[in-house]
Amino acid sequence: MLDRLLLSDFRNHRETLLEGAARFNLLVGENGAGKTNVLEAVSLLAPGRGLRRAQLADMPAHDGGGGFAVSAALATPGGEPVRLGTGVLAGRPGRRLVQVNGAEAPATRLAEWLSIGWLTPAMDRLFAEGAGSRRRFLDRMVLAVRPDHATNAARLEASLRERNRLLAEERVPDARWLDAIEVQIAQAGAAVAAARGDLVARLDAVLATLPDAPFARPSLAYAPGGPLEAEALAQALRQGRPRDRAAQRTLTGPHRDELVVTMAGKRQPAAECSTGEQKAMLIAITLAHSRLLEDSGETRPRLLLLDEVAAHLDPLRREALFDRLRAGTAQVWLTGTETAPFEAIAGEAAVWRVSEGTAARM
């Protein structure tokens, strides 16, 4: 698990060190103190843009030199500590650097060492937003199970960008060049779609075993945005060129996938459920995903980042949340404005008071 975390010139943290982390880790402080910034820093130890999906240029401290660094010491099942780091240099604010044990590595390598998931207040809108938000949510869950998903997803995104660029040009693109790009899209897309579909099926099976209370139980389905087989997808892309050229974007493929969520007890689409029911379903999915990882024999250290989750739950649901977290093996990081909602885990938790970009052990 994560044992030591250092933030340097990150957001409002000039130099914040957290050592001696436990299974449960609680960050307590007023709104704006920098609690979520710590969770965001941890989330950057996974591929992608972190739990806020912020631009790299927005992360350095305003009164710093223009760069930032996040480093962590990770205890692994084999006993050998691993040092992970990420950040940007002042002179190259748009390029993210990643290091594993001091050696530079691509960001996708981070998934080989850590499995990270999170739940934030902003995700309460997940079921009301567009399908893109749900695809990103799904991809994070897939990545926690399959580290290679980051590479396949990056290849798919890069190939789609190139195809869309060609489609938007005034002159008709070279058919042979489009053929080559569409083969790349089809190969990466088939791998991405297979991983998404497999995860949804397995996760829905776990959810089906859970009770309808205290958290509303959702059922999940995967709705692909195109053919699932690589050859069929390549053919669909070839046939769709006139339509896609008119739209100046690719209209078929895994980038159009949808995660369909329904409240099982009511058979009601999640988007039509109440805010409280949607929140409960999100928690249920997060906990079921954690259990899925437990059952799959995952050996990578697992982290679960829960931002302001307990404050919006009644005592019964808070107790149920802590019980389910306690039954797993993931290291959990939580935030709150006060310690009272966390009394049930206070004796097990490492607690830090966060104030104006500093963190002091309580």
Tokens representing 134 are 């749900």
SS (H, E, C) 315-333: HHHHHHHHHHHHHCCCEEE
CATH architecture of 1-114+300-362: 3-Layer(aba) Sandwich (3.40)
What residue type is assigned to position 256 of the chain?
A: R
> What is the per-residue DSSP string for 100-135?
ETTEE--GGGGGGT-EEEEE-GGGGGTTTS-HHHHH
**Beta-bridge partners for 103:** 100
Closest C-alpha to 109, from 154, 159, 156: 154
Q: List the chain pLDDT tens, one digit each, 362 residues.
A: 898 999 999 999 999 999 999 999 999 999 999 999 999 999 999 999 999 999 999 999 988 888 999 999 988 767 778 999 999 998 887 899 999 999 999 998 998 888 899 999 999 899 999 999 999 999 999 988 888 998 999 999 999 999 999 999 988 889 999 999 999 999 999 999 999 999 999 999 999 998 888 888 999 999 999 999 999 999 999 999 999 999 999 999 999 999 999 999 899 999 999 988 898 899 999 999 988 988 887 778 889 999 999 877 888 889 999 998 998 889 999 999 999 999 999 899 999 999 999 999 98
